[in-house]
Amino acid sequence: MQVSVWRGKADGAFQEFEVPRHVSQTVLDAVTHIQRSLDSTLAYRFACRVGMCGSCAMTVNGVARWTCRTHVDKVVKNDQMEIAPLRNLPVIRDLVTDMSEFFDKWAKAKGKFEGGLTRNDDFARVSSESENRKQVDAGIECIGCAVCYSSCDVVSWNPDYLGPAALNRAWTLVKDERDSRKIERLRAVAGDAGCHSCHTHMSCTEHCPKQISPTAGIAGLKREVSLAVLRGAF
């Protein structure tokens, strides 16, 4: 098959490679073949190859995907495939993006757990019957791959927008009964670049490989912010 691969930085261009087809071949296998057998200077990123680390995410035929879990058979068109770096992130080189701003936004959304106990207290426990816990069952499975972030048009229009992954993370912590920073976190996501900027067009939810719905979490944050305002907690 003919594979077009992005080369260089943001002002780079696609380069064509001829890659042999194999049974059960993944997109990551095709990229690896190019790097190992055709051009060793090709830069790309992967680690686990089994959908656990999220580092292999790229844009395949215009759609952000985990390349290790995407079979070529499912995406190839007319024996051709186009592979580019993730959208909405600076390109370091070829297929490798700089994830700094993605994770900086997790920090801006206060995506770090802050417990209220000391080492002298007993373990904090969350009951499996907890309604708050059940609401974030899916959301806590996020592995930070940035597929949703790359698929979100609001991030493209407003680079300050915290984006679906950071807001999903904030949502899981807002619902964590052990966390002690709920109001600070709601303040952090209530600004112009926060949950109210989401246009609810579901692109993040449609493309998340873990079937998480950041859209639902963001809607939950909007509700929690409104309740906090009504209660005078802001």
Stretch that binds ligand FES, among 48-56, 79-87, 161-169, 225-233 (CB under 6 A): 48-56
141 lies in the binding site for ligand FES (CB under 6 A):
no
The C-alpha atoms of residue 85 and residue 14 are separated, in whole angstroms, by 11
Q: Which residues contact 176 (CB under 8 A, 6 or more apart)?
A: 113, 126, 132, 136
Kindly tell me which residue out of 2, 37, 47, 184 binds ligand FES, with binding defined by CB under 6 A.
47
Q: Exposed, middle or buried by CB within 10 Å (0-12, 13-18, 19+), for 70?
A: buried
Shortest separation between residue 194's beta carbon and ligand SF4, angstroms:
11
Kindly tell me which residue out of 66, 106, 149, 171 binds ligand FES, with binding defined by CB under 6 A.
66
Count Cβ atoms below 10 Å from residue 112 Cβ, excluding itself: 12
User: How wide is the angle at C-alpha 104 spanned by C-alphas 181 and 114, nearest 5°?
Assistant: 20
Kindly tell me which residue out of 46, 149, 161, 171 binds ligand FES, with binding defined by CB under 6 A.
46
49 lies in the binding site for ligand FES (CB under 6 A):
yes
CB nearer to ligand FES: pick between 97 and 197: 97
Shortest separation between residue 219's beta carbon and ligand SF4, angstroms:
9
